[in-house]
Amino acid sequence: MAADEDVEALLASGDLEGAATAAIRTLGPRILGYLRAVLRDEGDAAEAFAGFAEDLWRGLPRFRRECAFRTWAFKLAWNAALHVRDDAFRRRGRRLETSEASRLADEIRRSSVARVEHEHAALDRLREALTPEERALLVLRVDQQLSWDEIAEILSGEGEPVTASTLRKRFERLKDRLATLARAEGLVE
């Protein structure tokens, strides 16, 4: 992964600050998403992300290269999540002083939140552009991960049954349409 290589190169040159900054900038959005999924609370995820950034910044000189840098970073994030979840001081509202790592973590978190909100709004607009039948097909196949035969049975109403092969063709056309709409919304290039 490029993040591992970039950080390794900066570490080899002795640029610990550059390595920490590069690590937080490149892995930060993925780490933040991971923390959101684990903690399921934006405030807790933000706090854990700040803790992760501080731990990475302080711990980088002790990184022993026993695993991939990315693995080590996700381990730091897991420990930060556990710390936020279990920290009695956090429950009393104790705040840590802001440092350069915390400011950088907050910058990444804020830009990630704005990006996620923009993407959610754009995805809502995409869904609105679909017919109810297209939305049903999409949800059944993608969200519910049903087989084509199961979807055919669900979507076959009174009268003529829908075949799995017909649904696969509709789905291919739907994917093309969604790709076009997503490009128009700026979600993909």
Which domain-ending residue is among 119, 138, 167? 119
Q: What is the pLDDT of residue 170?
A: 93
Statement to judge: residues 93 and 36 lie in one domain: yes
**3-state SS, residue 75:** helix
The answer to whether position 124 is within a domain reads: no
Same domain membership, residue 9 and residue 38: yes
C-alpha closest to that of 107 among 5, 19, 21, 16: 21
Q: Do residues 103 and 173 share a domain?
A: no
Which segment of 37-51, 104-118, 128-142 scores lowest on mean pLDDT?
Answer: 104-118
Alpha-carbon distances, residue 176 vs 101, 138, 160, 173, 181 (angstroms): 42, 13, 26, 5, 9
> pLDDT (tens digit, 9 = 90+) per residue, 27-38?
888 888 888 877
| pLDDT at res. 72 | 84
Digit-coded pLDDT (tens) for 139-188: 778 877 778 887 887 777 677 788 999 999 999 999 999 888 888 877 77
pTM of structure: 0.49
Q: Is the pLDDT of residue 88 over 50?
A: no
pLDDT at residue 172, as a whole number: 95
Statement to judge: residues 13 and 88 lie in one domain: yes
Confidence of residue 43 (pLDDT cuts 50, 70, 90): confident
Alpha-carbon span 143 to 154, nearest angstrom: 15
20 and 89 together in one domain: yes
| 162: containing domain | 129-185
